[in-house]
Amino acid sequence: MRLVRMFSARLILTVLSLGYLSTFSQTRTETELTENWKFRRGNSENAYKKDFDDSKWQTVNVPHDWAIAGPFDKEIDKQVVAITQNSETKPTEKTGRTGSLPYIGEAWYLTKFRVPATKQNQKVLLVFDGAMSEAQVFINGQQVGHNNYGYSYFFFDITSKVTAGEFNSLAVKLSNRPKSSRWYPGAGLYRNVHLIVKDENSIEQWGVSVTTPLVTGQLAKINVKTRFSGKGLRLITTLFDNSGNKVTADTSVASFGNEFDQNLAVSMPHRWSPETPYLYTAVTELYQGNQLKDVTKTKFGIREISYKPGTGFRLNGVTRKFKGVCLHHDLGPLGTAINVAALKRQLLILKDMGCDAIRSSHNMPSPEQLELCDELGFMFLAESFDEWAKPKVENGYHLFFDSDAEKDVVNLVRATRNHPCIVMWSAGNEVPDQFGAEGVKRAKWLQEIFHREDPTRPVTVGMDQVKATMQSGFGALLDVPGLNYRTHLYEDAYKAFPQGFILGSETASTVSSRGVYKFPVVFAKDKQYDDLQCSSYDMECCNWSNLPDDDFVLQDDKSWVIGEFVWTGFDYLGEPTPYDDYWPSRSSYFGICDLAGLPKDRYYLYRSRWNKESPTLHLLPHWNWQGREGQTTPVFVYTSYNSAELFLNGKSLGVQKKNNSSPQNRYRLMWMDVKYEPGTLKVVAYDSTGKAAAEEKIVTAGKPYRIVLEADRKTINADGKDLSFVTVSVVDKNGNRCPTADQYLKFSVTGPGKYLAACNGDATSLVPFNASGMKLFSGKLVVLLESTKQAGAMKLSVSGSSLKSSSLTISSK
């Protein structure tokens, strides 16, 4: 019999909704400090002083990434290293590893804020969702604290440092060291900063924890623990459904030390899941006598999770496998600065693919990302670190691990533990500490911190040194053993580890460039080409990894494999494997979607397997191959149907049916011997009865003639930060898309709104994202438009030489 740690958790999860300014019965104000910050790069002596003259500094809004504007430069953070994660043994020059953007150095942010003088005994907190990095914070010339890790949540009690009724100065100094990251980390106050003013008798920051010891279809028992400051207090917690109707309430007078412990019942609960992301709201009111002292609002979802041998992962009593992707924190042309519209666009694209889970790689997620996952229905694997005590890069987190790791984990868990989307914690990714007894001790120590702070969720680590973790006991002690790649070791790990299941914590690392196809079409690892692109036939991967189909086999055939998180959902800045040591190449090729958020062909391969609600039929490659007439040009079809027939200029090229002769034949339909001739390529898919169910065709396009604009949203909010993403493409005179068009286009915007950035998805492009023009890549690019605070209609105009220009109107309300 296996010795197994069974992990089962039933919980309700909560999230504090942060508005621009929320006032609860005059007891608490919470303000996002977003506007009128003064910013300057470089060391600025005396900038922390209250009377410092910042009139000549740049005015910016926060969140802000000061490095994303560029320029791209191969000399920035050039590293001569051997990347052990890439199986390299000899150091080589890496020029694009951290995105070739100027994130290194010091920077200052200054602003002023007023604390109301309406009542006595106020408590004032300053809360940061993240600051990149090594933040030093000053109030009115006095340092109130520091925080090293750029991804961590942190806050300071600044009550003694502020003057009520007057303007107070806030200064933040940030320092980014060279060789401190393996990808583009961003720079600046890239996440939100919050000012909280409340009574000294109040609910502690991140002091509410909600779990459900019992969940059935008829009843949910809800446990609410609330930590507070003060004496002689009572607590009223009221639950509301998603329509605002009162569900139940509980009043407590007796506390355990400085914590109230309440139990409430919800009859016939709506359970949270990716398919039904139902959210309740809890209102928690703290009284002293009849005087309301503090109140918080919390959105939450009711759901049950369990991880057990035999049944694997279960959500609300139903076994399911994670259909997940890994995401880095940058938003392509926006850099790392958090933007809700951009995050939501990413998630909606993934939702249509059938994705149901996200892994934050390899860092702590933003509150906004978690809130969206709660609302849209994504399970979440929240990761903490990429390094422990042993280094991957010279100035990485290992410098702070011994002093900061516990604090950073505690803050992560307390700030985010109540989100229904989070179903697992990750203590680390591919840490060199996987070797030896000291690494086992660190893994145990970190896991116990997670358990202490949140006993309801399991802990994993993304392990790439699987043989070492089998020998040392590292993998055996984890709640969930996570394997990064190493598909050939899944069986051995399953037998060696006692948990009774394996998670594909990182899978595939297949590489491709959107709309680029290379010949001959053969399986290859670390394949490189003179144009520094990768083939979109999805037959190329890295030396440590494999093709998507290999993971599909494990997911489908092994009941003890509980799901996968694909590397990656979107391309990201930095890590341009397999061109780490080539210039210019400054962003990844791993993405299922490119850096602009445009789906690659591989998107439809995953969609054909993951999306059970809507059928998939996708044909590749494009059919503009002048000069390849008569040459073999394989055709692939990614489809949820089991068979299809291919036609070229009306002539049938035969029917293909999925079969088990190879992983690729099991999940793809492939005609390997097609000879190219211009015209019309068409595929007809057949359902299980043999009837034609769907078709798709591609037509050889003529010369580029007209620009086409398509917006993801034609109406946005006039809040100064909402976005519309406009896909720009080119068609011929007959309206056929031109897949190889690479014309230079110019952008202009009139009316209440502004042109923010553009991206074409080309990993080798060195044009700054905020430039007013850019070349098409494989016939497309994306333009980002931002609203102002003035309602009205903004007009985007796009023009190019020898092309019929086009315009599009976006309304903001």
Residue 721, Cβ neighbours under 10 Å: how many? 18
Report the distance separating Cα 498 and Cα 479, nearest Å. Answer: 10
Cis bond upstream, residue 568 (ω within 30): yes
Closest CA to 226 of 209, 248, 243, 241: 209
What residue spans of 454-559 are helical by DSSP H? 466-472, 474-477, 490-496, 548-557
Q: How many CA atoms lie within 13 A of 51 on its CB side?
A: 0
Report the distance separating Cα 776 and Cα 783, nearest Å. Answer: 11
Q: In this predicted model, what pLDDT tens digit does every residue of 87-130 receive, in sequence order?
A: 788 889 999 999 999 999 999 999 999 998 876 789 999 999 99
What residue spans of 236-330 are helical by DSSP H? none
What is the rounded average pLDDT of the residues 439-465?
98
Report the distance separating Cα 732 and Cα 705, nearest Å. Answer: 5
What is the rounded average pLDDT of the residues 393-412?
98
* Residue 117: predicted pLDDT: 82
Burial class (CB within 10 angstroms; exposed 0-12, middle 13-18, buried 19+) of 605: buried
* Residue 120: predicted pLDDT: 76
* Residue 116: predicted pLDDT: 86
What is the rounded average pLDDT of the residues 355-363?
97
Q: In this predicted model, what pLDDT tens digit does every residue of 47-72 receive, in sequence order?
A: 999 999 999 999 999 999 999 999 99
The overall average pLDDT reported for the chain is 95
What positions carry a catalytic annotation?
Answer: 430, 506
Helix-helix angle 601-610:340-353, to 10 degrees = 60
Question: Which H or E run contains 405?
Answer: helix 401-416
Q: In this predicted model, what pLDDT tens digit does every residue of 602-622 receive, in sequence order?
A: 999 999 999 999 999 999 999
Kindly compute the dihedral angle of the four CA atoms of residues 379, 384, 390, 394, in this order, to the nearest 10 degrees.
110
Question: Which H or E run contains 440?
Answer: helix 436-453
Pairing between β-strand 459-463 and β-strand 422-429 as defined by DSSP bridges:
parallel
Pairing between β-strand 322-327 and β-strand 357-360 as defined by DSSP bridges:
parallel
Q: In this predicted model, what pLDDT tens digit does every residue of 736-759 receive, in sequence order?
A: 999 999 999 999 999 999 999 999
Kindly compute the dihedral angle of the four CA atoms of residues 523, 527, 532, 534, in this order, to the nearest 10 degrees.
20
Percent of the chain at pLDDT > 90 equals: 93
The confidence band for 16, taking pLDDT boundaries of 50, 70 and 90, is very low
Question: Which H or E run contains 798?
Answer: strand 792-800
Q: In this predicted model, what pLDDT tens digit does every residue of 723-740 receive, in sequence order?
A: 999 999 999 999 999 999
Q: Which segments within 291-432 are labelled E, that is strand?
A: 291-308, 312-315, 318-319, 322-327, 357-360, 379-383, 422-429
What is the rounded average pLDDT of the residues 160-169?
94
* Residue 26: predicted pLDDT: 66
Closest CA to 32 of 412, 349, 340: 340
Bridge partners, residue 79, by sequence:
94
Which residue ranges form the domains of the chain, and what is each CATH number? 7-13+202-304 (2.60.40.10), 21-198 (2.60.120.260), 321-610 (3.20.20.80), 625-699 (2.60.40.10), 706-812 (2.60.40.10)
The confidence band for 19, taking pLDDT boundaries of 50, 70 and 90, is very low
DSSP-assigned letters across all residues of 372-392: HHHHHT-EEEEE--S-SSS-S
Bridge partners, residue 793, by sequence:
811
Q: In this predicted model, what pLDDT tens digit does every residue of 678-698 receive, in sequence order?
A: 999 999 999 999 999 999 999
* Residue 748: predicted pLDDT: 98
Cis bond upstream, residue 391 (ω within 30): no
What residue spans of 540-669 are helical by DSSP H? 548-557, 601-610, 663-667
* Residue 119: predicted pLDDT: 64
Cis bond upstream, residue 578 (ω within 30): yes
pLDDT: is 1 or 480 the higher one? 480
Question: Which H or E run contains 237?
Answer: strand 234-240
Residues making up the chain, counted from first to last: 813
The confidence band for 20, taking pLDDT boundaries of 50, 70 and 90, is very low
Q: In this predicted model, what pLDDT tens digit does every residue of 579-601 receive, in sequence order?
A: 999 999 999 999 999 999 999 99
Q: In this predicted model, what pLDDT tens digit does every residue of 193-202 receive, in sequence order?
A: 999 999 999 9
What is the rounded average pLDDT of the residues 305-315?
97
Closest CA to 370 of 413, 429, 321, 335: 413
Residues 6 or more apart whose Cβ sits within 8 Å of residue 69: 768, 769, 770
Is residue 1 pLDDT above 50, yes or no?
A: no
Q: In this predicted model, what pLDDT tens digit does every residue of 520-554 receive, in sequence order?
A: 999 999 999 999 999 999 999 999 999 999 999 99
Report the distance separating Cα 39 and Cα 143, nearest Å. Answer: 18
* Residue 22: predicted pLDDT: 38
Burial class (CB within 10 angstroms; exposed 0-12, middle 13-18, buried 19+) of 544: middle
Is residue 3 pLDDT above 70, yes or no?
A: no
Closest CA to 95 of 109, 81, 112, 111: 81
Closest CA to 592 of 578, 611, 575, 606: 606
What is the rounded average pLDDT of the residues 651-655?
98
Closest CA to 424 of 493, 501, 339, 347: 501
The confidence band for 84, taking pLDDT boundaries of 50, 70 and 90, is confident
Report the distance separating Cα 692 and Cα 260, nearest Å. Answer: 63
Is residue 438 pLDDT above 60, yes or no?
A: yes
